[in-house]
Amino acid sequence: MRRRSRRGASLIEMLVAMLLLSAVLTMGMTLLNTLFRLEAVARERAEARAATARLARAFRRDVRQAVGILKSPAEGEAIGLDLGAGRTVTYRIRSGIAERVEQVGGGAERVERYRVPARGLTVRVDGRTMRMRLDRRMAATRTRAGDPLEITAIRGADRRFATREEEL
């Protein structure tokens, strides 16, 4: 008996190859989808961290420059600072985003928005020390609520670079 040489693959071999290829492609697509989601969450958190740092710098700068408080903050309300020379700054939460509103002479208004997810704003004043506390929340579908953020600032001159004699 003479054996014939095979020139192709059988139907079963083709089906097995297609099944293996589809399994590998499915795993690859699942991995890609997971990586894209993780990258989006990491980017969102990095942007929130950067916005938090900008908000903290602005708040500390404004408190150091403040000559007075425009209104005593109540629970969850905005805080207003008088910077002198007709300039005022108000910090508030609007639509879940922290805002800094600066007014010059009661006219021109400049609004800076900080994408720091926040539910509420609490400010405590203890002498020259002011503490702004933001009750944070992350996007509802991504993660649970974050820890509260507290920014501490001292009214008056910036003492970070003062020498010992200047402090006395």
Q: Model confidence over 98-119: pLDDT tens digits?
A: 889 998 887 778 889 888 777 7
Q: Residue 92: inside a domain, yes or no? A: yes
Pick the closest to residue 78 from 66, 90, 60, 65 (CA basis): 90
Does residue 46 surpass a pLDDT of 50? yes
pLDDT class of 65 with cuts at 50, 70, 90: confident
What is the pLDDT at residue 143?
44
Check whether 132 has a pLDDT greater than 90.
no
Would residue 2 count as lying in a domain?
no
Q: What is the pLDDT of residue 146?
A: 64
In a domain, 3, yes or no: no
Contact 126, 118 (CB under 8 A): no
Predicted local confidence at residue 140, as pLDDT: 45
pLDDT at 164: 47
Tens of pLDDT, residue by residue over 73-94, are 555 567 888 888 888 998 888 7
Give mean pLDDT, residues 59-77. Answer: 76
Q: Please answer whether residues 114 and 132 qualify as being in contact, where contact means their C-beta atoms are separated by less than 8 angstroms.
A: no
**84 within domain boundaries:** yes
What is the number of domains present in the chain?
A: 1
Determine, yes or no, domain membership for 110: yes
Q: Which domain holds residue 17?
A: 11-167
26 phi/psi in degrees, rounded to 5: -65, -45
